[in-house]
Structure 1
Amino acid sequence: MKFSLERHALVICIAIASLALVWPSALKKVVQPIVQGAISTLGGGFFVFVNFILLALVLLCLSPLAKKKMGGEQAKIEFSTFGWLAMLFAAGMGSGLVFWGVAEPVIHSVEKPLKQGLYPDNIGASLALTMLNWGVHAWALYGAFGLLLGGVTKALSTTDDISAPALYALPTHLQQRLKPTVQSVIYLIAIVAIFFGVVGTIANASMLLHNGAQMTLTSMGFDIAESWIAVAVLLIITFIYFMSSQLGLHRGIQTLSIINIYLAFVMLVLVVLVVPIAPIVKTVLVALKDYAMLIVSGAWQLDSQLKDSKWANVWTYNYYFWWLAWGPFVGIFLARISRGRPLWQYILGVVFIPSLMSLVWFSVLGGSALALDGSSHASLISAVNEDYTKGVFIFFAELGGMGHILTWLSFFLLVVFVATSADSALLVIRQLCSTLSRKRSLVIWSLTMTLISLGLVVIADEKLNRNIAVIGALPFAFIFIWQVVGFIKALSKELLSEGDEKAPIE
């Protein structure tokens, strides 16, 4: 079954990769409309479901159950707190923050999708909406996946089997009978979701690196064909995540993740050194207020906060399915690196600390970019409207000599962030296929991931990348709900059993 599983998963992924290379227009004409239609139908309901997930995690963190340990009561903490936070942040969405750090707040400030009567401060509203896409809801999805697979209950103690919660939701007499079929289907859909979720990210990051390198090299007097730059960028990324995957979790992924965090911190410090501090502080405070209001007011019906309800299909709902696509591999990864940590620490570390880091990141980069005045501000908005990937580099160019350092630093940071996400995904895909010991499998998956990413970079359509990223997430949404039901059943049964044992004997 396991060999067949990998074969079928590879056939699906290679087929779509070939389509992207041989007939790229088909992706836009066929795949993109189907995905957009599905998001339009399912997006609003899934948004409400994610709000329930976030509320449940908050209540769990405050409940007596918060003392339970990930991995079971005997589990021991394996990684330092700093190494743990670095890995979960880098694997979760690090590269996206570099891509959208400047572009997304600027786009929202121009489009103004929120009703201005509710959110009069344009900059604060733009950052609040950005955080709705990148903040606690996104990390709550990751946190929920990790919790489902974290061995918190005795009935679901197998932390590397993503089908276990779904199987437990079935009647007892069907669990063993249907296990092979259910496991194969869930694993196959999860692999496809992980693969294309990461491919969309690699394509976006490669577009950013490609355009940034082209702009930088041209300004330095070099004339290199764009196609060669695109190929070179993808080869560098592929080489790093291939080598990191071979080094394993401790020497490869953890090392790259810690490097990422230091680089990101250095970038923020350098930006703060050359931009006014007061506007950033004001931006953070206003954005926090608007973000809190947006969460509370729009939790069950985001449409009520928007001028045009269709806007959410392209942005917020699309993002949430993208996080869902990453959920299986990030969840397995979180369950693996979080063993021994109490649930309160796990929830704070996975949901709220990364969200706070994201708020600071967007406030420093996006807030500073929006604070530019005069011709600088106008040129930035014009560049972002023309091409999302130019925003961060135009912003850095306005910062003088420090901007050149930041540009090269962003190149390196983006490459390492993408490599960290890709090698984490490859680790989980091969774990699901049970091929971790076969080097040929790593080569095939790496090559397939690179080829479809190259096809998407050639097409150069960021919205298409987002739609490709959620191909596997749309069917996996139903599996995720199924898993949640199984986890609630297992936890409730265990709590009732513990209650009966503690009840006094009459």
Structure 2
Amino acid sequence: MASLHPYPGLMPGSTQTTASVNRWVFWPAAVIVVAFAAFAMVLPDAAEAAFSAVQSSIVKNFNWYYVLIAAFFVVFCLFLGFSRYGDIKLGKDDDEPEFSVGSWLSLLFAAGMGIGLVFYGVSEPLSHFANPRPGVTGTENELAQQAISQTYLHWGIHAWSIYVVIGLALAYAIHRRNRPVSIRWTLEPLLGRRVRGGWGNAVDVVALVGTLFGVATSLGLGVLQISAGLESAGLLDSSTMINVIIIVVITGFVLFSVLSGVGRGMKWLSNINLMLAALLVIFILIVGPTQFLLRDFVQSLGNYVQNFVGMSFAVNAYTGEAGEAWQASWTTFYWGWWISWAPFVGIFIARISRGRTVRQFVIGVILVPTLITFLWFSVLGGTALYMQLSGQADLIGADKTVDVEGALFAMLGNLPGGAVLTIGAILLIAVFFITSADSGSLVMSMIASGGQVEPRRWVRVFFACVTSLLAIALLLSGGLEALKTAAIIIALPFSVVMLLICWSTIIAFSRERRAYDKARRAAFVEHIGDFYGLEVDEPDEREPESGWRSLFRRRGSRSAAPMETSTEILVASTAEAAPGEEITEEQLPKASTTPE
């Protein structure tokens, strides 16, 4: 996910001469994030107490909201994919898909395959097994099964549906309507020309801050696990200072990439990283309990489908403070994390989906990465659970605690070639860190610059440094819990933006369908006229007739009004600006809250 160039909205080779940043987006976002980081670094104890209080308040008052909105996004995406809107193309009518099916699906997986999967691949199933959701009981085998299914819930359809909401709306805007790569344009059907003013700036500020916190959370998780891996390998003792040094060193690699413009090298590094991840899974599947892992994958998939609705709406209403604490650490955190990551991943999957239909987009983005992610957790988490149940290894403490950062390395240490696997896993996480930070700085720079094809290097350097600074600040003010709190907090305002994007998407697709219906009706009437050798008018284009004269009036006695072809109607209704042209005020539709 290191290279997103060339970007839609401008023809290859075109340049922009606008300002390097949109000051009404860049500066508000920069002030918010820098002020937050300064507060966390200067007063870490006060910041930790404040984060804890805010997290407790949000989970207590909005836990139901996070669960409900995540479920709504699933229903919304499935509705779009399997409704009459499903055949709308994300591009011009004659556009072919930019990537083959295989390449497209592999890129989709690359978009979501990141530090989080490595960090939680072993620790989350073990944590759910040792400390299940309050109210969940059963034998050890039943709890192990439920642990995998609960992990599936957090990393499955809900996560990718959240990404689809942003990605689909943005893909339609940039490929079908030739708009710049900026979140504000997803709301154009709803806000009209106001997306160019204060409302659009506010949307981009929220999206930019959300992306900053989302990427910083991932980088913080990666640093914690790298530090634990180095300690497991006997190279260094984990400490806060070591974590800060790791962030600084890896940020240096990111800055080298940004300043030297080694885009091909980053793309190569990203591809190598995906191959390393695939090799890790295949190796564990072969040397581990192969048959158990395959059976676990199939059975857990069935259990996930069977209990999907119940788990999706579980909010621990009857489990008191224990339920609230569990919800904050897991489900609410994940829904917040995915929402904060949505602009980042959404821009990427929108970029690579030119020429796909809405139905192909929804099915491809939700189904394929979800199944691959499930296989990942079944192999890594299933191996850890097998070791724990069989007594091959003790990966859970006597007090039922799980070393979240070090669980992966503890599991790898009990496999053949454990030392080599540990070093390989550390490299895997480090490269994920570099590619995520590099791609994140690029996406954030695009949002801050209003969708520029090639943002200025100083802007990318700024966001790379600020993201690392934010990750350091969060680690100093509470570690893992602070990272989780940041994701939960920032998702609250951006979730409102996502609801508006859903509304805007329905408006856009409704207009699109009316254009299609009009074009098909025109083509049908034209065909009937050609078949019978007559000039036939559409019913709504004829002059009203009444009385006995209408019975004897010859259809050919007056010339039919000229009709637009289906292509002309669709082009007129969907593409006001050609690629590379500046969008003028007259080309923007007026604000509307209902389909025209």
Shorter-chain TM-score above 0.5: yes
Which stretch shifts more, 389-398 or 76-85? 76-85
Which secondary structure does the structure 1 equivalent of 2:356 belong to?
Answer: coil
Aligned 8 A contact 1:208 1:389 in 2:
yes
1:87 offset after TM fit, Å?
3.8
Cα displacement string for residues 369-419 of structure 1 (whole angstroms, at most 9, x for unaligned residues): 01114654434455982531011111111124x211211111111122222
Question: Is the Cα contact below 8 Å between 1:71 and 1:339 reproduced in 2?
Answer: yes
Residue 91 to residue 236, structure 1, CA distance change in 2 (3 Å): farther
Corresponding position of 1:25: 45
Letter in 1 for 2:470: I
Aligned match of 1:168? 189
Residue 186 of structure 1 aligns with which residue?
203
TM-score (norm 1): 0.89
Q: Is 1:413 aligned to 2:428, yes or no?
A: yes
Aligned to 1:344: 359
Q: 1:110 maps to what in 2?
A: 130
Task: Give the drift of 1:274.
Answer: 2.1
* Residues 263 and 81 of structure 1: CA distance in aligned 2, closer, same or farther (over 3 Å): farther
Taking the TM superposition and a 5 Å limit, the aligned residue runs for 1:42-191 are: 42-63=62-83, 65-113=85-133, 115-116=136-137, 121-151=142-172, 157-158=178-179, 160-170=181-191, 175-176=192-193, 179-191=196-208
Aligned match of 2:485:
467
Q: Tell me how far 1:487 sits from its aligned partner.
A: 0.9
Q: 1:364 to 1:498 in 2, by over 3 A?
A: same
Separation in 2, partners of 1:422, 1:126: 31
Q: Which amino acid aligns with 1:454?
A: I
TM-superposed CA distance for 1:497, in Å, is 3.3
What secondary structure does 1:66 align onto? coil
The separation in 1 between residues aligned to 2:142 and 2:488, in whole angstroms, is: 32
Partners in 2 of 1:19 and 1:406 — Cα distance? Answer: 39
- Identify which of 272, 278, 285 aligns with 1:265: 278
How far is 1:96 from its partner? 0.4
How far apart, in 2, do the equivalents of 1:182 and 1:164 lie?
Answer: 11
Find the counterpart in structure 2 of residue 367 from structure 1.
382
Quick one: structure 1 residues 470 and 244, their matched pair in 2 at CA, closer, same or farther if it must change by over 3 Å?
farther
Within the alignment, does 1:293 sit opposite 2:306 as a pair? yes
Amino acid at match of 2:232: M
Residue-pair matches, total: 497
Q: CA RMSD in A?
A: 3.0
Determine helix, strand or coil for the equivalent of 1:142.
helix
Distance (Å, rounded) in 2 between the aligned partners of 1:326 and 1:4: 22
**Unaligned regions of 5+ residues in structure 2, if any?**
1-20, 526-537, 540-596
Structure 2 counterpart of 1:160, which letter? V
CA 1:240 to 1:384, structure 2 compared with 1: closer, same or farther past 3 Å?
A: farther
Q: Secondary structure at the match of 1:42?
A: helix
> What is the distance in 2 between the residues matched to 1:88 and 1:155?
20
Moved more, 407-416 or 337-346: 337-346
Deviates more, 1:125-134 or 1:279-288: 279-288
SS of the residue aligned with 1:150? helix
Question: Is the aligned partner of 1:490 residue 2:511?
Answer: no
State the SS of the aligned residue for 1:321: helix
Provide, for residues 441-467 of structure 1, a one-character-per-residue CA deviation record: whole Å limited to 9, x for no partner.
222222222122223334562122111
* 3-state DSSP of counterpart to 2:197: helix
Q: Distance in 2 between matches of 1:462 and 1:331?
A: 25
Larger radius of gyration: 2
* Counterparts in 2 of 1:241 and 1:75: CA distance versus 1, 3 Å: farther
| Larger helix percent | 1
1:204-235 Cα distance to aligned partner (Å, 9 max, x none): 110110121122135xxxx6684563244213
| Partner residue, 1:41 | 61
Query: d(CA) in 2 for partners of 1:248 and 1:349?
Result: 32
Is 1:21–1:455's contact at 8 Å kept on the other side of the alignment? yes
- Structure 2: how far apart are the matches of 1:14 and 1:177? 28
With the length of structure 2 as denominator, give the TM-score of the two structures: 0.76
Q: How far apart, in 2, do the equivalents of 1:73 and 1:422 lie?
A: 36
Report the CA distance shift for 1:81/1:154 in structure 2 as closer, same or farther (over 3 A): closer
Q: CA deviation at 1:432?
A: 1.3
Kindly indicate whether the alpha-carbon contact (under 8 Å) linking 1:95 and 1:417 is maintained by their aligned counterparts in 2: yes
- Give identity over the alignment, percent: 28
Structure of greater relative contact order (alpha carbons < 8 Å, 6+ residues apart): 1
**What residue in structure 1 maps to residue 472 of structure 2?**
454
Q: 2:586 maps to what in 1?
A: none
Matched, 1:356 2:371: yes
